[in-house]
Amino acid sequence: MLGLLINEKEKEELLYLLKREMDEILFDLQDERIDHIVKRAINEKYNILFDLFKRMGTEKECLAYVRAKSNSKK
């Protein structure tokens, strides 16, 4: 386990970067031109970023980025 000591301004900057990256990923996941295998890798990245975001964001902010579970897992 690692720890990180940051001030409020740095926290807000990290939240901003995470939100921006997650927004881009959500946009890419809707693109039909992207291959399924690539989308799976993108989805894994989203899950990692969202886990980081949950540690710092408010409940309201986190709810905006919660994705519905897909039943298409094989």
Phi/psi at 2 (5° precision): -115, 155
**Is residue 30 domain-resident?**
yes
Question: How many structural domains comprise the chain?
Answer: 1
- Give me 70's structure tokens: 């897909």
**Is residue 50 domain-resident?**
yes
18-30 tens-digit pLDDT? 999 999 999 999 9
Judge contact between 19 and 53, C-beta under 8 A: yes
- CA quadruple 49, 15, 55, 46: dihedral, nearest 10: -10
12-69 tens-digit pLDDT? 999 999 999 999 999 999 999 999 999 999 999 999 999 999 999 999 999 999 987 6
Which domain range does residue 54 map to? 11-63
**Is residue 47 domain-resident?**
yes
pTM over 0.75, yes/no: yes
**Is residue 42 domain-resident?**
yes
**Is residue 38 domain-resident?**
yes
**Is residue 48 domain-resident?**
yes
**Is residue 37 domain-resident?**
yes
- CA quadruple 53, 58, 64, 70: dihedral, nearest 10: 60
